[in-house]
Amino acid sequence: MEKIKFSVKKREKLNEPKDFKVILLNDDYTTMDFVVYILKTIFHKSEIDAQRIMLYIHKKGQSTVGQYPFDVARTKENQVHNLARKNEFPLMCILKEV
């Protein structure tokens, strides 16, 4: 009887994609209403949460508005910047690795 040889491949462990915080920054020119609009449309916050976060940003200078995988976080960052520029506001957001 002939022996059958099997080869076993070692599985590589895949790492979960790293998450990034999207942080909205305060400035002296962007209106509070526009920040609320951004929070509701891009980050899908409720009216009450958007108002609360906007006030926190206004008082503290910045706030994390979401945590996403890199591609999603980068897309949201670009959406904020594009919409702000389109409406002639200097609103900025940044990404920080978690």
The pTM of the full predicted model, rounded to 2 decimals, is 0.84
What domains, with CATH codes, occur in the chain? 19-85 (3.30.1390.10)
Query: Quick one: how many helices (H) and strands (E) in the chain?
Result: 3, 3
Q: What per-residue confidence (pLDDT) applies to 24?
A: 98
Cα gap 23→86, rounded to integer Å: 20
Token representation of residue 88: 């002639």
pLDDT in tens, 15-74: 888 999 999 999 999 999 999 999 999 999 999 999 999 999 999 999 999 999 999 999
Distances (CA, A) of 8 to 29, 53, 91: 62, 53, 54
